[in-house]
Amino acid sequence: MRGMRGGARALGGAALALALVLPTGCKTPGSFREPVARFQAGNTEASTALGQYYSELNRFERDLYLDERLYDTSLEVLASDAAGRPTPLVGKLFSPESIQARMDAIALLGVYAERLAALAGAENPGKLPEASQALGTQLGALGTQLESLGGRGDATASRYVEPVTTLLGVATSLFLEARQGAALQKAIEQGAPQVNAILDLLESDLVDVLGPQRLTGAKQALASRVMFYNLNREKLSLAERRAVLDDIRRASDTYEALVVAQPVEVARALRDAHQALLHFARSERKVESFEELSAAMQSFQGRVQTAAAAVQRISTSPKE
């Protein structure tokens, strides 16, 4: 009987100790789950858009080369020019190896987002809570058995079994989640320089290489059509003029879309989203920071969707 009372006191003490262990702010890394899932979804969309943009570099030049010959009958279609250099018809202005280097980098950003999501439990949200809950239930059953085995003894002891085992489940859950949160914080912190290095390079590519290629190409396509119309308008029938003018309108729309779209926005949105994750990890995942992160991730998804749709629109060849 005395032993049972002692046990009850011990259980009570344990319950109190566990209750004190529980953090009042409840800054669980579960908070990472939803933002990281959004980051991953946005990252996938951004990677698809950027990948498409890169993979079309040489095709864009080939289409423009043929487009130029459609409106200028003095130009022949050739595989190599007078100096023996390959024309865009067969040549690769941008080497496949260089394009592949970009595609690899983009794919690795996707892998990074996937691993972060796996670490945050975004793929299997119930895994950690289930494990700790199962432990709590199992320990509860064990406690009942022990109590029953000890005979009738101190009836008050049974009152402690349930709260203690529940708290033990919660404490285990917090322990697991703390491990998860620490791992995520470390991963985001350590990954930041690499992610930023890739985003810097992509941004530089998009601004200094891909942007000028597309803008000047779209302007050339428009100018070729305008030149053709102005030189031949008197020889064209009404239907032919309508067709050429429609073509000019489409080329003008494409150019305008390029000016407005700014595909570099995809890379910038990715950078901002990752920066928000980093800020959240560094600010000890406070509630205010979580709200900021959540808003940043929603904004990220929106920006990527808009930019990806724009990239899709301008991915059509000059003729289309």
Partner 1 sequence: MVFDTQTLTRVVERCFDLSMSGALPAETRAQYNAHGKRLRELLMQLLGARFDANSAEFKQATDAMHQTNHALSEAVDDLNKVTQAVARVTELAGFLDKALGVAKRVIS
Residue 14 binds partner 1, judged by CB under 8 A: no
Residue 80 binds partner 1, judged by CB under 8 A: no
Q: Which among 6-14, 195-203, 239-247, 312-320 is the span making contact with partner 1, rule CB under 8 A?
A: 195-203
Enumerate long-range contacts of 177-182, CB under 8 Å, 24 or more apart.
Answer: 177/28, 177/29, 177/30, 177/128, 178/29, 180/29, 180/32, 180/119, 180/120, 180/121, 180/128, 181/28, 181/29, 181/32, 181/285, 182/29
Given the complex with partner 1, which of 111 and 295 has the nearer CB atom? Answer: 111
Residue 231: count of CB within 10 angstroms of its CB = 11
Compose the 50-69 pattern: x for residues touching partner 1 by CB under 8 A, - for all others: -----------x------x-
Q: What angle do CA 167, 168, 171 make, to 5 degrees?
A: 85
Residues 141-170 that bind partner 1 (CB under 8 A): 141-142, 145-146, 148-149
Given the complex with partner 1, which of 94 and 299 has the nearer CB atom? Answer: 94
* CA–CA gap between residue 77 and residue 89 (Å, rounded): 8
Compose the 202-231 pattern: x for residues touching partner 1 by CB under 8 A, - for all others: --xx--xx-xxx-xxx-xx-xxx-xx--xx
Contact partners, residue 315, CB within 8 Å, separation at least 6: 52, 53, 56
Q: How many residues does the chain have?
A: 320
Residue 118 binds partner 1, judged by CB under 8 A: yes
* CA–CA gap between residue 279 and residue 289 (Å, rounded): 8
* CA–CA gap between residue 186 and residue 281 (Å, rounded): 8
Residue 234 binds partner 1, judged by CB under 8 A: no
Least distance to partner 1 from the beta carbon of 227, Å?
5
Judged by the rule CB under 8 A, the positions of this chain that interact with partner 1 are 61, 68, 93-95, 97-98, 101-102, 104-105, 108-109, 111-112, 115-116, 118-119, 127-128, 131-132, 134-135, 138-139, 141-142, 145-146, 148-149, 172, 176, 179-180, 183, 186-187, 190-191, 193-195, 197-198, 201, 204-205, 208-209, 211-213, 215-217, 219-220, 222-224, 226-227, 230-231
